A and B are shown apart, each in its own frame.
Chain A
Amino acid sequence: MASVVGSIDSDCAEAMLPRPFRVTSQHAETKDTVTLELEPEDGEAVPFAPGQFTMFYVFGIGEVPLSISGDPHHPETLVHTVRSVGAVTAAIAGLRIGDRIGIRGPYGVGWPVEQAEGRDLVVAAGGIGLAPLRPVVLDVLARRDRFGVVSIIYGSRSPVDLLFAEELHSWRSRFDMEIEVTVDRSDETWFGDVGVVTGLLPRISFDPPRTVAMLCGPEIMMKVVANELASRGVAPDRVHVSVERNMKCAIGFCGHCQFGRDFLCRQGPVLPYAQVADRLRVPEL
């Protein structure tokens, strides 16, 4: 069999078998989102690249794809930030410390952090989309000198829906990174920006011809930001988006995650905007 760099060289039966993990920490980010830390029962860490995901199995209930939201330099702790949207994720959000679950992976093509080396980096997150981008930020901050201007823009529904609130504060106090946060609707406590996340682009100082952008959030948000970046002179093949679809196997067999010709579990979920712009315009593709 022809071998391929970076492929799983195993069989499907083995690849469909989860490894037992244990919940070691649980923290409510918002009323419906929880960050879990997990450790493998057999002690073998799961090295991952920013943007990759695992298939998270809850005993007897089911399995869902979850982006890894942890620090790629510390893979011994597997971190997932989960929003409760259905039966499985509701169960995951309800897990307690000590609970055991199953993990397969990591899977997928992640964020091209290497492309951003020597360039300016714009990280644009909407809602829960900050979770798959957090590993990029942590990776970049760990090797800060390799990158030019680093900016984060983050839009959330309202002030109570902001993820990683404490970390956002510490990021905001850094001098080597810009971060702007906005909400769609404010409350009495909020004195920050109000409005869509594209409104934050004029606030950050990136040089479009030498910028790489990574976007994650609802499709409409990614399209709007990508178009705005393009109109400012950022090359569409340097803008990367994370596309989401239903996944069952994560190894290219079940057919569910197809987005046009791409199996998002194998060619994605991160794809250059230039490659997906046309497809994102076709409703119900």
Chain B
Amino acid sequence: MKLRTGWRSRDAGAVRPGLHDFGPYRPPNARLAPGSITRNTDQPVLGTVAGHGGILSQTVVDRSDIGVLFDVLVSDGYTIMGPTVHDQAIVYDRLDGVDDLPIGWTDEQDGGKYRLLPRPDQALFGYAVGQHSWKKFLFPARSTLFQVKRDNGSLEFVQSEVPEVRYAFLGVRACELAAIAVQDRVFLGSGVVDTTYQTARRDVFTVGVNCAVAGGTCFCVSMDTGPRCTSDYDLVLTEVIDFDRHEFVLEAGSEAGETVLLRLPGRLVSDSDEARVDRIVEETASSMGRSMEKAGIKELLLANLEHPRWDDVAERCLACTNCTLVCPTCFCSTTEDAVTLDGNLATRSRRWDSCFTMDFSSLHGVPVRSSTKSRYRQWMTHKLATWYDQFGSSGCVGCGRCITWCPVGIDITEEVAAIRASQEVIT
């Protein structure tokens, strides 16, 4: 198999191939990306994305009929992944039906704190996000890269097959749609395509959810990623519960979403339904658990790489890597090698890694970032600052997971605010 050669050297004067130079991201496949519909302007289609004008394909489905959504997706060959209760948390796992959803549960989250509480109603989506994110399916924690057979000294390298999957993600929050888009940029948009990610991502059917509950550590409003799903979904639903009804306002965001929506039993959407959705989203937006001023954040952090606040946070940080595990955009990985006992077959696999480990920056056996301070600084400045240079956006979507799942409750919004506040003091 021929391996194409790598990057050629460039003139020092020419623009270096910065990752953000790769132009606007275009989805990797011919199939329409969720959230965008090409429109033959001669013939109006049933629905278009908001902003393009025309009639959105919408419907209102009753709670008693929502199971049909599952049936339709299964009959279309999807494996449905979504939220379910497990070990006293809401995780993402395979759903066999409506009853697998965390019906009647909500979550209480704060720095270093997560617990499930029963709701007074039987909402299906009445919670924020748990420790899992959709990267668990698109960027699996472990995958095999290749195997090497050794025979009398000669080596044969065999690329491993990427498992074909057909997922439907049911219950994707706006911040999570943003996170998937961020990872799309990393794995698909920078010149080399990650085939594992691409294969999983290509056929994903996304059902977004407009949050009716703001989590205790949420700050999607600050990061402009929510709480309303605005793009990159096939379907989006908003759960509406009153004393006399329990319904879902559904909207299609793509042709694929269209074809599913048209097979669901529902009634027409009225103006008051739309107004209700707006109100729900507004209420969520106004009850965010956290906020972060993101204007000028890149310049702020990069100008303060030796700020005493880093020493402060380093005293609390355990370098446990929880934040990187739960963060929906963290993408660092490492490679591992294993050999069979007879020494004739070696396997190289990829697994998640974290910049918080001692090993991560090991150079000739000695870590470059040996202090916890330097590793925390690396994570935060990458996530909030250098990510802009690399990928043209922030790496943070404001989901709040890192705050919730930090055992000591370190809060990046607080860390940023502290550095910002002291700016006048430090000259």
Residues of A within 8 A of B (CB): 1-2, 4-20, 41-42, 44, 46-52, 57, 59-63, 85-86, 98-102, 104-115, 237, 240, 244-246, 248-249, 251-256, 258, 260-261, 263, 266-267, 272, 282-285
**Could you say which residues of chain B place their CB within 8 Å of the CB of A86?**
364-365
Minimum CB–CB distance for B297 against chain A, Å = 14
Query: Does B295 make an interface contact (CB < 8 A)?
Result: no
- Pull 11 A–B residue pairs with CB atoms less than 8 Å apart, ordered by A: A7-B7, A12-B196, A17-B159, A19-B3, A20-B156, A59-B148, A114-B11, A253-B333, A258-B378, A263-B390, A284-B368
Minimum CB–CB distance for B27 against chain A, Å = 9
Name the one of B7, B19, B23, B150 contacting A59, with C-beta atoms under 8 angstroms.
B150
Name the one of A44, A50, A99, A249 contacting B335, with C-beta atoms under 8 angstroms.
A249
Asked if B17 and A253 make an inter-chain contact with CB atoms under 8 angstroms apart, the answer reads no
Q: Number of residue pairs across A and B with beta carbons under 8 Å? A: 225
Asked if A260 and B386 make an inter-chain contact with CB atoms under 8 angstroms apart, the answer reads yes
Measured in the bound complex, the distance between the Cα atoms of B12 and A260 in whole Å is 19
Q: Closest 8 CB pairs between A and B?
A: A49-B9, A2-B23, A112-B12, A255-B332, A284-B374, A60-B339, A110-B9, A261-B389
Measured in the bound complex, the distance between the Cα atoms of B12 and A50 in whole Å is 13
Query: Does B187 make an interface contact (CB < 8 A)?
Result: yes
Asked if B6 and A17 make an inter-chain contact with CB atoms under 8 angstroms apart, the answer reads no
Nearest chain A residue, comparing its CB with the CB of B382? A258
Name the one of A16, A110, A254, A283 contacting B146, with C-beta atoms under 8 angstroms.
A16
Name the one of B3, B18, B160, B368 contacting A246, with C-beta atoms under 8 angstroms.
B368
Interface size on B, residues (CB 8 A): 81
Minimum CB–CB distance for B52 against chain A, Å = 23
Asked if B353 and A109 make an inter-chain contact with CB atoms under 8 angstroms apart, the answer reads no
**Could you say which residues of chain B place their CB within 8 Å of the CB of A102?**
148, 155, 157
Residues of B within 8 A of A (CB): 1-13, 16-19, 21-24, 26, 28, 145-146, 148, 150, 153-157, 159-160, 162, 186-196, 198, 302, 305-306, 331-335, 337-339, 343, 346, 348, 350, 353, 355, 360-365, 368-371, 373-374, 378, 382, 386, 389-390
Measured in the bound complex, the distance between the Cα atoms of B371 and A42 in whole Å is 45
Nearest chain A residue, comparing its CB with the CB of B190? A252
**Could you say which residues of chain B place their CB within 8 Å of the CB of A115?**
11-13
Measured in the bound complex, the distance between the Cα atoms of B367 and A284 in whole Å is 9
Measured in the bound complex, the distance between the Cα atoms of B148 and A282 in whole Å is 41
Minimum CB–CB distance for A112 against chain B, Å = 3
Minimum CB–CB distance for A226 against chain B, Å = 15
Measured in the bound complex, the distance between the Cα atoms of B146 and A107 in whole Å is 20
**Could you say which residues of chain A place their CB within 8 Å of the CB of B361?**
245-246, 256
Name the one of B302, B333, B382 contacting A248, with C-beta atoms under 8 angstroms.
B333
Name the one of A19, A110, A255, A284 contacting B331, with C-beta atoms under 8 angstroms.
A255
Asked if A59 and B368 make an inter-chain contact with CB atoms under 8 angstroms apart, the answer reads no
**Could you say which residues of chain B place their CB within 8 Å of the CB of A10?**
4, 192-193
Measured in the bound complex, the distance between the Cα atoms of B192 and A15 in whole Å is 8
Nearest chain B residue, comparing its CB with the CB of A105? B6
Measured in the bound complex, the distance between the Cα atoms of B14 and A272 in whole Å is 12
Asked if B335 and A17 make an inter-chain contact with CB atoms under 8 angstroms apart, the answer reads no
Name the one of A8, A51, A61, A267 contacting B4, with C-beta atoms under 8 angstroms.
A8
Asked if B305 and A17 make an inter-chain contact with CB atoms under 8 angstroms apart, the answer reads no
Asked if A8 and B157 make an inter-chain contact with CB atoms under 8 angstroms apart, the answer reads no
Measured in the bound complex, the distance between the Cα atoms of B373 and A48 in whole Å is 38
Asked if A98 and B370 make an inter-chain contact with CB atoms under 8 angstroms apart, the answer reads no
**Could you say which residues of chain A place their CB within 8 Å of the CB of B4?**
8-10
